[in-house]
Structure formats: C-alpha cells, structure tokens
Structure 1
Amino acid sequence: MAELAKHPGNMPPQAFEEEVASPWKEAWHSFQKNRLALIGLCIVLFFIVIAAIAPYIAPYSFREQVLADRLLPPSGKHWFGTDDFGRDIFSRVVHGARISLGVGFFSVLASAIIGTFLGVVAGYYGRWVDGLISRVFDILLAFPSILLAIAIVAILGPSLRNALIAIAIINIPNFGRLVRSKVLSVKQEEYIMSAKAVGMKDRRILFRHILPNSVTPVIVQATLAIATAIIEAAALGFLGLGAQPPAPEWGRMLADSKNYLTQAPWTLFFPGMAIMLTVLGFNLMGDGLRDVLDPKMKS
C-alpha cells in the first residue's frame, strides 16, 4: 500500500519522476534538440566569457597608441591589426564586448522591469489606467526606434549612460504591450476569479498568480531585445552619440574606421564581425526559446 501511495497507479519510480519533471527541465531538453539554438547559446556564452576575461587576454591596453604602428595588417604581433592611432584592434574588440553586452543586458533589464510593471497594471486594472498607459505606449511606438533614441540622447547629451537610458526607454512599450495582452488572458482564468471571490488582495493576486504566469513571453522577448539593443547601441556609437573616445565601443570603432575601408579593411571587418556574431547568437537563442516556451509554437 505504501508503494502504491508513493507511486500512483503502480507506476515505476523512474516513470513517476519523469511524469512530475519540472516544466523548465522539459523546456531545456526541448531546447537541446534545436541545433541552431544551441549554436546561438554557444556564441552568446563565448562573448560573455570574452567580456569577463578581457583584461587577461588582451595583449595591449585598448588606450595604448603607437603612431609608428598605425594601420598595420593582422600579424603575430597584432592579431587583428592596428587602427589609425596604432592601437591594437584585438584588444579593443575584446574590451568592446564588455560595453556592447553591458548596454544590451542592462538596457533590456530596465525596460523589461518597467514595461512588465506597466503592462501588469494596465492589463489587470483596465479602464482609465489601461487607457492612459496604452496611449503612452502608442506615442512611443509612433516614432521609429532609432530616431527616438537619437532624440533622447540629443536632449540628454552624448554618452554611454545616456545611450543606455535611451535604448531602455524605446524598448519599454514592447514589453508593456506583450505583458498586458498576457495579463488580459490570464485574469479571466477560473483560479483568478476564485481568488477574487474569496477576498484575496490585488497585490497578492498580481505577484503570486498573474505575474508568474505572464513571465514566459518576457524571457523570449528579452533575449531578442538584447540583440536589438546591441545594434541600437552600435548605431548610436557610429553617429557619435554613444560611447565617447577612447572607449572601444564596436559602433564607434566602425565610425573611426570608415575612412580607411580600402586602405585598411581589417579596421572595419573585425568590430563589424563581432557585432554580427553577437546579434546572430542572441537571435538564434531567442528563436529557440520561443519555440520551446511558446505554446502556439509547440502546437
């Protein structure tokens, strides 16, 4: 009897453990079957590791200028060559990973937190609260994202911090509208109705029931948004509105090398390749997460 109680339906222990496996564990097993998603994850982890150990693998300081070595091609001494100031491009690219990934992670984290909060409030309370928040989202989405980011940085002043703030602001509506639509669906579930009927407070319903059941699409959106944020940071840097010299931001490196495209193409190739691979990695990983976590994609 004890065995039957322990393993319902006289189910073998291993089968029972598989039956009650964590949904996240099942999602990971499904994710592992997607080869492109795994490639994306490996690319992302590679750049994260590079950013973490940049000071230890960079052979030179990213600020060090040796004018006698300007525009040298890739060699054993300078793996990626040198730029117009004689700075080692490999050292600048690996240090630039810290800036680009940092802007991507922190801007998306800020926009995800603010957007999720606004989306939950708008979807749960509805009426004039929903109308007000939704109109703010509509206003922000009415402008092309990069133009809005340029306008915000132009007002605040060109700097890496202000670029991060601008990127966070323009991504808030994407998270807000996504979470709002999910909350509108979840709050109609019977267990939410039952919680309200027994007098459970709104705060408890929001944080214990609605928010945990609305966070899955946020994870997918955040992964894809990091890729977009890296591109936007590079675009602002290219225009001179992001990181300022001598910071080794990839977009800024592209701007500095555009005058030497035919004379020294390696000055443009390596930072451009770093941007392309990083964005590709996050996009592949995000697509894999969407396939695993989105019920519509599963069906």
Structure 2
Amino acid sequence: MTDNWTDVLNPDTPNPGYSGRKLDEYVWIPKPKTALREYRLNLKLCKDVQEERGYFNDELVGEYAVEEGNIYDGKLEPEGYLEKYEEKDVSMKTYVSNIRMFIRIARFLGWITVVPESDSKYLLTDRGEVLTQFRGEFPDASGGLEEEKIVRRSFANLCFYSVNDDPDYWNLKFKTRIFLNMLSFIRDYNFAHHLELAVTAFTLKDERDPRELEEKRNILDGLRSGELTLVDAFEMNDFPLDESTKNGVYDGPKVLLSFARQLGLADSTYISKMENSDEVYSIYEQEYETHPHAGTPRVVYQITAEGEQFLDKYMSRKKIWFDEL
C-alpha cells in the first residue's frame, strides 16, 4: 500500500498502480466467479483463517479452500493439487488468483478491509461477519436478518473507488456508484446489452456532473439511432478495440449483471422473445456492423419491478466523495 497520499489524492496525478488491464478511463472490475452462495462460503473460509491467524490473505485462504474442497482439480486430491503448484510463482497459482479476485470484489462491497500498515493482510468487516451466519441456498434468513437485503444494500453502496480498495489502484476522477448507474442506464433505455454499458455507465467518472451524464447518454442515443457503431463508441472512449482490451472491458458489465440477476434486480431476455424483436435486432445489426470480434447479440438485460424499487430507493441518496470531505 502506498505511503504517498499526496499523490494518491491528486486526481491529476497518473497512478503507477494502473496497467493495461486496469484501464485509467474505465471502471475495471475483476472477473471472479459470481455465485453469491460461493461468496458466502469464501467469507466463511476467510473467517476460519482469521480466527486461527488473526488475519487472512489470498494465499492462505486459497490453500484452505483447496484443503476444504471448495476449489479443486477434478483429477487430483487436495494434496496433489497444492503440490502441483508448490514450486510455481504465486501469480501462477489458480486457487490464489480465484480468491484474490473475490477479495477485491468483497472489499468494494465493504465485507473485507485491509489491516492498516500491513502488506496484504485482511480482516472481515462487521457486515462480512454477519454474512457468514447464513446457511444453505442464497438467499437465506436468520436471526431476523435477510441475506438478500444486506447484499443488495452492499451493492447499492458499491463505489468506484472504495475506501476498502488498495489506494495504489485509486483514480480520484472516478466518483460513481457503478452498480446503480449501470442499472439506471438499463432502466432509462428499457433494455441494454453489456457492450452498450461498457461504453457508457462503465466510463462515467463523476455521476454528479450533468454534462458528463449527457455525454454518455448521447453515446447510447447515437448507438440506438444508428448514427454510431460500437467501434465509434469505443474510439470515443479512447479504447483500441483489440483482443487485449476486449478481455478487460467486456467482463465488467457481465460480472455486475450476473450479481444483479441473482439479486432479482435485472433479467436477461432473449431478443427473439421481445414484442419489438425486429426493431431491437435492427438496432444491434447497425451497432455491430463494423465490430471485428462479435456477432449480433441474442440477449439483452432489463430491469425488474424490484430493480425499479431498488433504484428509486437508492439513486436519490447523496454520496460524500473524497473531494467533499
């Protein structure tokens, strides 16, 4: 973790923590598994390690997950799986990478926090501890608490960047509740495909800036009217539309949309089953006309009635950002 807070808190200072995968102009979301029941199980693994050692990290929890059978290689026993990677660098250990991505998402959600002045040592927050109490399929209810309500609230408060995330990754140009803004774009346009969200909601930096919001909406308006293609939209956001960018930019919306579906806030809909399917197909044929990597989509995402209520409840709430403290 950085010691130079003056530079970190200056939004005009390029952050050395960024790389090609963590694009400076884009909300980069890691691509972990997204089953919320599995997240709960991982929190329990973290709790077990924390109770034994006083903290946990990705390597300790990853090894424990293999021992407990939560992460496995179908051809190997746990001991053999760990031995297979024993001499490899930690970056090559898949079970560590899986937990590392989970930890970063959980930090965004306020379930895990870093031990101050430590090198990648973590603790569960109070909310993370509460989530370990639930059992069985997601969502559960126990002791007067409803798991789904707690998790929904966590996603409503998911900010980019989170105070629980490593300051080496911060870019203070971003002041956005990405999950809420993603759902808001879907609601306002009745449906959306994940690439439309990638070039709008996921490039929105300051949700308080009406001019920037209008710029992003103009992009989606242009895509829907046929004035812009996806190639145009990517270029407007300074993304070279090649395979390396594809791997980072395409995944973020998919990850958060998976969570939204599990929470009952959004649904995936086959275009062929929509009443206006011909119109929707026509929109995407124009959008994808010059796209080098993908065919016309078959599925779009729409807000549920509960998603509407969720947005009405949380979008009007004011967030206090770093520059307002």
Question: Relative contact order (alpha carbons < 8 A, sep ≥ 6): 1 or 2 greater?
Answer: 1
Task: Give the TM-score taking structure 1 as reference length.
Answer: 0.23
Identify the structure with the greater strand proportion: 2
Higher Rg: 1
TM-score (norm 2): 0.22
